Structure 1
Amino acid sequence: MMSIPVAVDLVIKLGGSAITEKSLPETFKEAAIRESVKLVKLCVNKGLKVVVVHGAGSFGHQQAKEYKVTGGWMRDSGGSQVNYGFSLTRVSCMKPCGNWTTQDGKVVQSGVSAVSSFLGAGFVPVLHGDCVLDTVTGCTILSGDTVIKTLCKELAVGKVVFLTDVAGIYDKPPQVPGAKLIPNIRVDENGKIVQQITTDALSCDVTGGIELKLSSAVEIVLQSKGTVPVFICQVGSKAAENICIGGEQLAVFEEGTVVTLCREN
């Protein structure tokens, strides 16, 4: 029997770069993970229904890239090698094949009903990006951001907070001199971002880096017709805490980015 969707107050995405050292294979950032756990506990103590989705970070990306898992074994002449890479990626991700299946990269079967059931029972579901079976390519990489978009599409979600290793979205890569934090990213009803933004993805990130994060935020805002705000904050920051436990907007003294829908008059 299908479970009835339960309202979700908050979806927290723990970015792979925030909780792992992406330049070092299978290396945690313990301090960031402890801060994340503290934040989730605060939310639960406030009586909020929370879903946590975390990126794989330095777990799985190297194996997925080396064996071209994203493309699947049906489109690669070295299918057995992709199959082997699929297994290695799964093993690596499981150190931190659910019910998710894709068709040429698009989700056709999700585990959302199970998430809903666990929420109703008082649990905090924890999901992550992973390699999954694909009916067209054999297998592919399902990003945590795609999981979040599916949750927002199938459940009533109050807000989404992406926790990253930097304060938010910048007008160019934050390590570039002169980079400025963008506090508000406005998106028109066609999905076009008003501001000019230059993104920079790490070469080992097979799920799209910051470009996918931003496009996911835009899609969430669009598919909800602007009713689901998306915030990007630094893990462990006061901004992240205030937004997660009930804040509706960033205070003037808090660093972060909110993605909103800009309707034409």
Structure 2
Amino acid sequence: METIFLKLGGSLITDKTKVETVRADVLARLATEIAQARRESPTMQLVLGHGSGSFGHMAAAKRSTRQGVADAEDWRAFAEVSDAAARLNRQVLAALLAEDVPAVSLQPSASVVCVDGRIYAIASHTVQAALAAGLVPVVYGDVAFDSARGGTIVSTEEVMMALAGEIRPSWLLLAGETTGVFDKSEQVIPAISRANYAEIEAALGGSRGTDVTGGMASKVQSMLNLVDQFPQLSIRIFSGLEPGNLVQTLLHPAQAGGTRLGLTPSG
């Protein structure tokens, strides 16, 4: 039974240049495609994550919550970031349930322990229980308590990477706005590994809009670190804007378009 981690990027499901603005049509279509993929592959186990986009990032930037929480105003901002991220999560859940996808939200702040900005431990048993029950567990970028910083923010990718240690997915699929990772000529790089990363590193830029968890360069580097740790894992960065692309990538991840990250250039 194959387990797939799927992340819907914050820039895909929200307009990151406007405060708390959901791309409702895109989100509804993605939910429809997820439902279709589950119908066509009923044994697929799916863990879904989504970014915070124009919800959590803008709230977090006001008090630099990711760097730490020190006083009452910081803690107030910490609570506001948590609320903003949860508001988007409710809309994602509503879209999925409307398409009969049995999605259940699992709030990372309730299960993550951080030390100096890094996830030290995560309770994965609730995610595993959801999968065993035939549900689709949904995680997201969230605040977290931190023994060194007081509080911080964990990205969706960080949460999913922490879960990968226990759940061992075969694929991590990252659906965003772009068709993959671009080189300097604005062409999609079909595959990235340690062997060719140095060549393409300079071509990786930041991300559009306000993002407190880093742009494409940091995401690619963290994904390669994850592949180093879990050699059975393959990762694909692809566009969720093109209708039909998500369902095909879920059903046939090895043959899909976009950029594949793995131990070797061939994945």
TM-score (normalizing by structure 2): 0.84
Q: Output aligned runs, 1:67-106, within 5 Å.
A: 67-74=63-70, 79-96=71-88, 97-106=109-118
1:245 matched to 2:247: no
Inter-partner Cα distance in structure 2 for 1:150 and 1:70 = 18
Amino acid at match of 1:230: I
- Give 1:192 deviation, angstroms: 4.7
1:39 matched to 2:33: yes
Name the structure 2 match of 1:187: 194
- Give 1:112 deviation, angstroms: 1.3
Q: Output aligned runs, 1:1-265, within 5 Å.
A: 9-45=3-39, 46-47=41-42, 48-74=44-70, 79-96=71-88, 97-172=109-184, 178-188=185-195, 192-196=197-201, 197-202=203-208, 204-225=210-231, 227-237=232-242, 238-250=244-256, 255-262=257-264
Bigger helix share: 2
1:60 partner SS:
helix
Inter-partner Cα distance in structure 1 for 2:55 and 2:216 = 17
Inter-partner Cα distance in structure 2 for 1:153 and 1:35 = 31
Inter-partner Cα distance in structure 1 for 2:197 and 2:216 = 16
Kept in 2, the 8 Å contact 1:70–1:140? The answer is yes
Aligned length: 241
Query: RMSD of the TM alignment (CA)?
Result: 1.9
Amino acid at match of 2:25: A
The one-character-per-residue Cα deviations of 1:153-198 (angstroms, maximum 9, x if unpaired) are: 22121111100011111114xxxxx41111111224xx95443423
Inter-partner Cα distance in structure 1 for 2:205 and 2:4 = 26
Kept in 1, the 8 Å contact 2:207–2:214? The answer is yes
Query: Per the alignment, do residues 85 and 8 of structure 1 end up closer, same or farther by CA in structure 2, a change over 3 Å counting?
Result: farther
Inter-partner Cα distance in structure 1 for 2:74 and 2:25 = 34
Inter-partner Cα distance in structure 1 for 2:199 and 2:165 = 24
Provide runs of 4+ in structure 1 moved above 3 Å: 191-194, 236-240
Kept in 1, the 8 Å contact 2:193–2:224? The answer is no
Kept in 2, the 8 Å contact 1:14–1:53? The answer is yes
Amino acid at match of 1:107: I
- Give 1:66 deviation, angstroms: 0.8
2:218 partner SS:
helix
Kept in 2, the 8 Å contact 1:200–1:211? The answer is yes
- Give 1:8 deviation, angstroms: 5.3
Inter-partner Cα distance in structure 1 for 2:186 and 2:215 = 18
1:38 partner SS:
helix
Amino acid at match of 2:68: G
Query: Per the alignment, do residues 203 and 132 of structure 1 end up closer, same or farther by CA in structure 2, a change over 3 Å counting?
Result: same
Inter-partner Cα distance in structure 1 for 2:28 and 2:86 = 19
The one-character-per-residue Cα deviations of 1:41-73 (angstroms, maximum 9, x if unpaired) are: 123221210000000000111111111111112
Name the structure 1 match of 2:96: none
Kept in 2, the 8 Å contact 1:184–1:257? The answer is yes
| 5+ long unaligned stretches in structure 2 | 89-108
- Give 1:203 deviation, angstroms: 5.7
TM-score (normalizing by structure 1): 0.84
Kept in 2, the 8 Å contact 1:186–1:194? The answer is no
| Identical pairs, percent | 25
